[in-house]
Chain A
């Protein structure tokens, strides 16, 4: 088995390598995060709806999904729904958290899952994995995962 030579100065180099790797992995898994969240009404008005990602790329948004979301909400809520909806993963594999800036996200998720949902903590809506799979199935280009390290780590 390969074991790095950790004598003297090289150990700190190894630590640096690990830190670089951690930050690279975090950057890679979070590369799809949006620079700015865009409202549903803005995306509906665009001829080719796109969202700018943190890594400088553009993510395409399917028009059919936008129409589906528009069908679930009142027209008054189009401005307050910011897309993509962020789903946070923080160490617990059985559940995730939908980050809600406004009540519209809660309304949307409730309508999508056909059940009343409410935030246990302000701005954070807990969902379980089967629910997440259902949301992702219906909102492939309008949701995005956020990977974060929990506080105890």
Chain B
């Protein structure tokens, strides 16, 4: 239930309360917009996370399968020896992105430059190439998943905060202001009515005096 705010019953206070109500309504509108955007982004991120998780599991399964086949073909020791000298420059570009005031990390796996795989192509089969490709794909989806999960956490926290503010405005501050404005308006009307009846009474008394 709305509570009355303690204010002096004057017209100036009424004007100030009306101004505060207008301000609160504007903040509420922005909060509602922001909440709607954040919720939309959160749901989208949640859906993408589910897909990315499935992709990660698939990619990892395929990568391990390809690696197992390659090591079975070449021999584990020979493959390890071949891959020990391989140098793959893996770089990830990281930076923030801003979603309605929430700073979410953004990650992107950079494409390898030069197209070199880092191992001797002449001495290895296409099975190693396939294992390398699937491992790279697995790495890409892991990075994608990491970005999505962190974004999901940050969005969730911000949604909670925004929801609390929007609810406080919607259910406490704005109703209290409205109730107080209504109360003051009724009080002023009552005062006007009293004033009017007092004037009428004085008029009657004066009229009687004139007659007497």
Q: Which residues of A contact B (CB under 8 A)?
A: 1, 3, 5-7, 11-12, 14-15, 18-19, 21-22, 25-26, 28-32, 48, 50, 53, 57-60, 62-64, 89, 91, 93, 129, 132-133, 136-137, 140-141, 144-145, 147, 149-150, 153
Across-interface contacts of B48 in A (CB, < 8 A): 137
The interface bits of chain B over 68-111 (1 if a CB of A lies within 8 angstroms of the residue's CB, else 0) are 00000000000000000000000001111111110100101010
Q: Is the CB of B23 within 8 A of A133?
A: no
Q: Is the CB of B97 within 8 A of A141?
A: yes
Q: Is the CB of B27 within 8 A of A18?
A: yes
Across-interface contacts of B98 in A (CB, < 8 A): 31-32, 53, 57, 59, 144
User: Of B12-20, B119-127, B201-209, which stretch is located at the interface?
Assistant: B12-20
Q: Flag whether B36 is at the interface (Cβ < 8 A).
A: yes
Residue on A nearest B98 in the bound complex, by CB: A32
8 Å CB contact of A60 from B6, B41, B93, B110? B93
Beyond A62-B108, A147-B100, whether A22 also contacts B26 by CB under 8 A is yes
B68 to chain A, nearest CB (A): 30
Residue on B nearest A53 in the bound complex, by CB: B98
Across-interface contacts of B57 in A (CB, < 8 A): none
Q: Flag whether B31 is at the interface (Cβ < 8 A).
A: yes
Q: Flag whether B199 is at the interface (Cβ < 8 A).
A: no
Q: Is the CB of A60 within 8 A of B94?
A: yes
- Bound form: Cα–Cα A29–B97 in Å: 13
Q: Is the CB of B44 within 8 A of A133?
A: yes
Across-interface contacts of A15 in B (CB, < 8 A): 16, 19-20, 23
Across-interface contacts of B19 in A (CB, < 8 A): 15
Q: Is the CB of A7 within 8 A of B34?
A: no
Task: List 5 A-B pairs, minimum CB-CB distance, nearest first.
Answer: A60-B95, A32-B98, A28-B101, A29-B101, A93-B36
B159 to chain A, nearest CB (A): 13
Q: Is the CB of A21 within 8 A of B101?
A: no
8 Å CB contact of B96 from A5, A59, A144, A153? A59
8 Å CB contact of B37 from A14, A59, A145? A145
- Bound form: Cα–Cα A114–B146 in Å: 31
Residue on B nearest A140 in the bound complex, by CB: B97
- Bound form: Cα–Cα A102–B105 in Å: 30
